[in-house]
Amino acid sequence: MELDLPLILMVATGLTGLIVLVDRLFLRRKRQERIEALEQSGAPQENILEATKEPFLIDQSRQFFPVLALVFVLRSFAFEPFQIPSGSMEPGLQVGDFILVSKFSYGLRVPGNGSTIIPVDQPQRGDVMVFFPPEDSRYFIKRVIGLPGDHIVYKDLRLTINGEAVPTEVLGGKPAYAPTMVLGEETMDNATPVVKWLPGRDRTTGQAALWGGPEGEWTVPDGHYFMMGDNRGNSGDSRMWGFVPEKNIVGKAVAVWMHWESWTSLPSFDRVKVIE
């Protein structure tokens, strides 16, 4: 079972904020009354000093609440960091890349609900987007291929959107071509992604062939998006599990700010870049 860190952050912020509020409205006044009573009765100074101390839970909540609240607001409405967990977006995004996701690019949303509070913009073809797949609580990152109402065809490594073929150029030379991959460049409305196909063999003829993942034909329903990984031959995406509802959008991936592949290696900033 995976930890729901956003939910934990929301609960922690709410609990510490509630404790601080109750203290300010009720408990602090009672402590002050007790201090005044001790002073009037001529109690020893150490007793009075002890009475001025805040209980541990209140003291910790007062210190942590501003920090938690700031983090909660920033990650809910501004930017949130993520780490790329798989190779489904290679070659552009690699395992260990730390990316920054803009939470306001597609409008301010209710945390944990997905409803738009303030609309800003809509996803465009070619955007790299973080979202929750249908019936899945895990974060995914893929590229927006189909908008609501689009008709998508993927066959023979080529995309066709609304009857128009997406211009695709096979890239030659290393590292574009290696024994483990062949790269191609697609020209979309909002980006020019480099996609990855895997060399293999045709199951029928036994001849050398490229594997670009499942093929098919889809029409995107209203309020949904069709997503695909740039690593077409090794990506679990809308070709398998369907369309992404608008309410499942988390944000737009805008930059790689660090690369840290494992705890046994050192972080690197050689891959810092804007995501296209």
Q: Which residues contact 35 (CB under 8 A, 6 or more apart)?
A: 48, 51, 52
For residue 196, indicate whether it is catalytic: no
Choosing from 61, 105, 142, 238, the catalytic residue is: 142
Among 120, 152, 151, 106, residue whose Cα is nearest residue 245: 106
Choosing from 61, 76, 88, 105, the catalytic residue is: 88
DSSP letters, 99-122, are EEEESSTT-EE-TTT--EEE----
Return d(Cα 163, Cα 1) in angstroms, integer: 43
CB under 8 Å, gap of 24 or more: what pairs does 259-267 form? 259/94, 259/96, 259/97, 259/98, 260/83, 260/96, 260/98, 261/95, 261/96, 262/96
Among 250, 254, 224, 233, residue whose Cα is nearest residue 146: 224
For residue 88, indicate whether it is catalytic: yes
C-alpha angle 7-73-17 in degrees, rounded to nearest 5: 70
Return d(Cα 126, Cα 91) in angstroms, integer: 15
- 108-109 and 116-118: which strand pairing? antiparallel
Burial of residue 267 (CB within 10 Å: 0-12, 13-18, 19+) is exposed
What are the residue numbers of the active site? Answer: 88, 142
